[in-house]
């Protein structure tokens, strides 16, 4: 099924897909599209997996670019090749993050990877970091954000997530 077909089947209630950890709804895609930077600036999604969420965002708003980052090229299915970045190993960093205005971490595996990204590439033009994942995981990540330059945290409500998932937007504290 194409991204356009998947997109048309989304509803305001979050659905699970076999190749995305996060429950996805049309409300969530519209919300993410509205907060992510518009061209020529772009977003980097670290650990993009199949790229389903990222491709749905881009399909929803053609003025948004989301580049993916993954370990190896085999896992990506939906992000256009020219927008994919490959790193070597779980601690590999993608230098494209340095030019991005926003980062996404969706169901990341280790809070220390986010700290490493902020310490290495967290200067301007970066404006926001969107973290999405299970509510139970958030406390481990919150600590990393609170101790970083991206410690201003907001928790948008009613954005079409499942009851057990959360999105947090981190912005530069000064
Ligand atoms: C739990 S999966 C989440 C995938 C996707 N975001 C989703 O929600 O379906 C975590 C992903 O992060 C990737 N990953 C782990 N370390 C990474 C790194 N340093 N750079 C890029 N991706 C990484 C893994 O290969 C894996 O696909």
Q: What is the pLDDT of residues 45-72, one digit of tens each?
A: 999 999 999 999 999 999 999 999 999 8
- Say if ligand 1 is within 6 A of residue 72 CB: no
Question: Which residue owns the Cα nearest ligand 1 atom 4?
Answer: 49
Domain of residue 146 covers: 23-171
Q: What is the pTM of this model?
A: 0.98
Q: What is the pLDDT of residues 5-29, one digit of tens each?
A: 999 999 999 999 999 999 999 999 9
* Position 65 in a domain: yes
169 burial type by CB count under 10 A (0-12 exposed, 13-18 middle, 19+ buried): middle
* Position 153 in a domain: yes
Tell me, in angstroms, the distance from the centre of ligand 1 to residue 75's CA.
9
What CATH number does the domain containing 38 carry? Answer: 3.40.50.150
* Position 87 in a domain: yes
* Position 7 in a domain: no
Q: Enumerate residues 6+ apart whose C-beta is below 8 A from 79.
A: 48, 51, 54, 55, 66, 67, 68
* Position 18 in a domain: no
Q: Tell me how many helices (H) and strands (E) the chain has.
A: 5, 9
Report pLDDT for 40. Answer: 98
* Cβ density class 2-38: b for 16+ within 10 Å, e for less: ebeebbeebeeebeeeeebbbbbbbbbbbbbbeebbe
- Say if ligand 1 is within 6 A of residue 92 CB: yes
- How far, in Å, CA of 165 to CA of 136, rounded? 8
User: Of all residues in the chain, what percent carry a pLDDT higher than 70?
Assistant: 100
- Tally of structural domains, the chain: 1
Ligand 1 pocket mutation, candidates 23, 29, 49, 141, criterion most atoms within 8 A of CB: 49
* Position 86 in a domain: yes
């Amino acid at each position: 099924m194409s991204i356009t077909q998947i997109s048309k089947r989304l509803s305001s209630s979050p659905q699970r897909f076999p190749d995305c950890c996060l429950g996805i709804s049309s409300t969530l895609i519209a919300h993410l599209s509205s907060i992510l930077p518009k061209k020529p600036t772009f977003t980097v999604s670290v650990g993009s997996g199949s790229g389903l969420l990222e491709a749905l965002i881009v399909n929803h708003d053609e003025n948004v670019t989301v580049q993916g980052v993954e370990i190896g090229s085999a896992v990506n299915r939906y992000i256009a090749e020219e927008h994919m970045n490959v790193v070597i190993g779980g601690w590999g960093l993608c230098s494209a993050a340095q030019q991005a205005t926003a980062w996404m971490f969706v169901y990341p595996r280790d809070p220390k990877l986010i700290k490493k990204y902020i310490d290495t590439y967290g200067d301007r033009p970066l404006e926001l970091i969107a973290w999405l994942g299970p509510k139970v995981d958030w406390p481990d990540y919150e600590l990393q954000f609170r101790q970083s330059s991206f410690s201003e945290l907001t928790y948008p409500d009613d954005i079409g997530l499942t009851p057990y998932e959360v999105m947090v937007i981190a912005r530069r504290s000064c």
